[in-house]
Amino acid sequence: MAKTILLSFDVEEFNLPLEYNLDFSSKNQFEFSFNGLKKVLALLDKFDIKATFFVTASFASKYPKILKEISEKHEIASHGLNHKINRYVEREVEQSKAILEMEIGKKINGFRFPRLQKPDFASLSKMGFKYDSSISPTYLPKRYNNYFENKKINLKKGIYEVPVSTFPLFRIPVSWIFVRNLGLKYLKLATLFSFKSPGFVNLFFHPWEFTELDKLKIPWYIKRNSGEKLITLLEKYISWCKKNKFKFHTFSEFLKLPF
């Protein structure tokens, strides 16, 4: 089996500053993500690789043109109705799926709950979803405790759960702020270990991370190495993967699902 990297991006309104009581308008929340998204797409085009974009319905409704453009080359999956949601509501998830399918004219197979909370797998299956990637098998204070969750793809009530990659032993996440704070060497090493077990890499970022965050009064570790520094890091990582003949696939391609 080819050594596969599932590169994904959670495309959402950037409402994280609100958690730190910042006055951050809805306009800014959407524009930060939109501007970062354009940089992400340019980078993917440069290397001619595919990715999966987990998109909130609110973002899709605001920027339908770019969503349609993304769907022509990459995979679109659901990231819920909006990024304010903190509990699973079937009606809202179903609505998000319907909005995305209407905008791109294609079936939506995948789901990822905002902030990596656990979804209702039976509910997702009933709505026609085929896979989920909401579980990060680690412990993150004040967020979730999934330390003993399975790191391999597993079937849950008819849904393929594709866990986010974590580094072996201590289960340190291999995505967004952890990559930006631990650096390229950490990401490369984690990639090689992940190929041994569970056999693939599930790596995600947010488009707003590719904008300059230094002026925002948010914790240093959230904004460290964002913007152009992250673009450079990801560019070097993709070059390294290409050199080693690693393959980038969408989730549906990897699971051999039609989309």
pLDDT at 105: 97
Evaluate whether residue 259 is within a structural domain. Answer: no
The H or E element containing residue 193 is helix 176-196
* Position 83 in a domain: yes
Taking alpha carbons only, the member of 45, 119, 30, 41 closest to residue 79 is 119
Q: For residue 86, what are its two tokens?
A: 């903190």
Question: What pLDDT, on a 0 to 100 scale, did the predictor assign at position 85?
Answer: 75
Domain span at 151: 4-254
pTM of the predicted protein model: 0.97
- What are the φ/ψ torsions at residue 174 (nearest 5 degrees)? -115, 65
Write the pLDDT tens digit of every residue in 55-67. 999 999 999 999 9
pLDDT bracket for residue 143 (50, 70, 90):
confident
Specify if 186 maps to a domain. Answer: yes
Chain centre to alpha carbon of residue 103: 20
Residue 34: band (very low, low, confident or very high) from pLDDT cuts 50, 70, 90: very high
| Cα(134)–Cα(143) distance, integer angstroms | 13
Q: Is 140 a domain residue?
A: yes
Reported confidence tier of residue 112, pLDDT bands at 50, 70, 90: very high
Closest-CA residue to 101 (of 73, 50, 67): 67
CATH of the domain at 243: 3.20.20.370
With 70 as the cut, is the pLDDT of residue 1 above it? no
How many folded domains does the chain comprise?
1
Query: Do the strands 159-161 and 154-156 form a parallel or antiparallel pair, or are they unpaired?
Result: antiparallel
pLDDT of residue 170: 86
Residue 108 has pLDDT above 80, yes or no: yes
pLDDT surpasses 90 at 37: yes
With a cut of 70, say whether residue 259 has pLDDT above it: no
- Asked whether residue 16 is domain-assigned, the answer is yes
**Stretch 104-128: mean pLDDT, rounded?**
96
Q: Give the E-state strand segments of 38-188 in sequence order.
A: 52-55, 75-78, 110-111, 131-132, 139-140, 144-145, 154-156, 159-161
Apex 234 CA angle, 230 and 237, nearest 5: 140
Confirm whether 224 is domain-assigned. Answer: yes
- 33 contact partners, CB below 8 Å, separation of at least 6: 11, 12, 13, 14, 59, 206, 207, 208
Say if 89 falls within a structural domain.
yes
Please indicate, yes or no, if residue 65 is contained in any of the structural domains: yes
Contacts of 160 (CB under 8 A, 6+ apart): 130, 131, 132, 153, 154, 255
Per-residue confidence at 169, pLDDT binned at 50, 70, 90?
confident
Mean pLDDT of 73-99: 93
Contact between 165 and 194 (Cβ < 8 Å)? yes
Helix or strand holding residue 124 (H, E): helix 121-126
